[in-house]
Amino acid sequence: MNASDARKRDLAALLHPMTNLALHEERGPLMIERGKGIYVYDIEGKEYIEGLAGLWCTALGYGVEELAETAAEQMRKLSFGHLFGSKTHEPAIALAERLKQMVPIDNGRVFFGNSGSEANDSQVKFVWYYNNAIGRPEKKKIISRRRAYHGVTVASASLTGLPANQRDFDLPIANFLFTDCPHHYRDAEPGESEEEFASRLAANLEKLIVDEGPDTVAAFIAEPVMGAGGVIVPPRGYFEKIQAVLDKHDILFIDDEVICGFGRTGNAFGAQTFGLRPDTMSLAKALSSAYLPISAVVIPEFMYQPMVESSRKIGIFGHGFTYSGHPVSAAVAVRTLELYEERQIFAHAAKVAEHFQARLAALSDHALVGEARGVGLIGGCEMVADPSTGRAFAVPGKVGAYCMGRCQEHGLVVRNIGDTIALCPPLVITESEIGELFDRLERALDDTLAWVERESLRG
C-alpha cells in the first residue's frame, strides 16, 4: 500500500479525534507505519523523532520486546478476565499492589479504567458517591481551572477548561466551576512576581469557594503541569497556597497525573516535584508506556470505607467497565513499572532533563519565541508577534500550525497548542538525541520566522 492509497482509505472510513475535520479532508493524514526507540517511520520510510511521545505517553519508546512478550504470554494464559461480582486475577492484584506502594497516598484503593478520561470521569462519580455516603448531599461542586485538560467524556470534558472541548457539545454540565489558569507569563499583572501572582490566584479561588458556599464545593482538580492547555508550569508557591485554601474549606484535592506521572517531571509523580498533598490521583498514559489502554484511580481509605457501607445499603457498588483491570493491559503495566525500576528510567530522565531544559531555555533568544517553559522532560515553546511585550499573533494558532508542519518536514513530530509547540519525548531519550530534537525544532522555527516575515503577520 502506498501513501495515496492510505489517504483514500482513511478519508473514506475514519472519523478522527481532536482533528480539524475540514482541513483533514483537504490535506489527508500522515500515516505512521512503525516505530523503534524514540523514532517513528511513515509509510514511505521517512524517519521522525517522536517529540511528543505519541500523546504524552510512550515513556519507554517504541518496540520494547519485553512488553510485547508479556502481552503475548498473558493473552495465551488468560486473554480476558473481569473484576465484576468479586472476580479477580493476578495481574490486576499485582498492579494495584505496586501502585499502592508508589503513590503518595496512604493505604490507597485502586480502581482501573481504560483512559485518563475514564479515570477523571470516575473521580467525579466517586466524589459524589462519597459525599452522599457521609451525609453531605449538597457538597457536589468540583472546581477545575481555565485551560485545564482532564478528558472528553461528559464529566471529564466538563472539567476541561478548553472551549473547543465544550463548544457545541452542550458542556459543561451542572456542578462544575472554573478558576484561574496559573500562567504567569500570559496572565500576571505588570510587575507582579510569581509569588504575588500565586497569592492572587489562591485568593481568587477562596473567593469563588466562599461565594458558592464551602458546604457545596466538594473537590478541586489539577494537573501538576498543565499539558494540553499549553505546558503551563505552576508559579513558585502556587500549590502550597492553593492547598491551604482547600484544607481550610474541607475540599478534596484530585491530582490528575495522567501526563505528569511516572517520571515525566523528574520524580515518579508531579505531586512530588511540586509538593502536592493529593487526596486522590488519576493515572494513565505512561502507566503502560501506552502499549495497551489502561488507567487507574487511587482513593484513600477514608473515602473507601463509606463507599463500602453505601454498597451494603444499595446492594452493589454500581460503577465499573468491562475492561477494568483487563489482565493483558494490567500485566503489561506491571512489566512497564518493573522496567522503569530495572533500567532506572526515572533517574535517567531526571539526568538528561538538565540538557533538555538548557536547550529549551535557549529558545527564548529566538526572534519568534516569547517564552520557553518546562520542567523535567516536558516543555513548551510559545511563539508571539512581539517577544519584547508578549503580544500574541492576531489569529491564534495559525503560526503554531505552520511551525508544526515545518517540524514534520524536518523529521520531528510535535503538537501545536495554539501558538505553543509542545515537547514531551520518550523518557529513554539520550542527550545526543535531545540535541538532534532541538536542532530540528530550531530549523523549523527559522522557517516559520521567514514565513511570518513574508506574510507580514507581526502586525
pLDDT digits (tens, 9 = 90+) for 382-403: 999 999 999 999 999 999 999 9
pLDDT digits (tens, 9 = 90+) for 361-390: 999 999 999 999 999 999 999 999 999 999
Question: Is residue 242 within 8 Å of 220, Cβ to Cβ?
Answer: yes
d(C-alpha 400, C-alpha 417), whole Å:
7
Question: Is residue 289 within 8 Å of 65, Cβ to Cβ?
Answer: no
| Residue 180 pLDDT class (50, 70, 90 cuts) | very high
pTM to 2 decimal places: 0.96
Q: What is residue 415's DSSP assignment? A: E
pLDDT digits (tens, 9 = 90+) for 423-436: 999 999 999 999 99
Q: Across all residues in the chain, what is the average pLDDT?
A: 97
**What's residue 276's pLDDT?**
96
- Helices 238-248 and 194-212 cross at an angle (nearest 10°) of 20
**What's residue 3's pLDDT?**
80
Give the mean model confidence (pLDDT) for residues 210-221.
Answer: 98
Question: Is the confidence at residue 1, as pLDDT, over 90?
Answer: no
| Residue 253 pLDDT class (50, 70, 90 cuts) | very high
pLDDT digits (tens, 9 = 90+) for 49-85: 999 999 999 999 999 999 999 999 999 999 999 999 9
The CATH architecture annotation of domain 67-342 reads: 3-Layer(aba) Sandwich (3.40)
**What's residue 6's pLDDT?**
87
**What's residue 7's pLDDT?**
87
**What's residue 371's pLDDT?**
98
Query: How many helices (H) and strands (E) in the chain?
Result: 16, 15
Instruction: Say which residue the cell 465499573 belongs to.
Output: 320
The residues spanned by each domain of the chain are 31-63+344-454, 67-342
- End-to-end Cα spacing for the chain: 45
d(C-alpha 156, C-alpha 172), whole Å:
9
Give the mean model confidence (pLDDT) for residues 292-321.
Answer: 97
**What's residue 2's pLDDT?**
81
| Residue 100 pLDDT class (50, 70, 90 cuts) | very high
CATH class (in words) of the domain with range 31-63+344-454: alpha beta
| Residue 146 pLDDT class (50, 70, 90 cuts) | very high
| Residue 321 pLDDT class (50, 70, 90 cuts) | very high
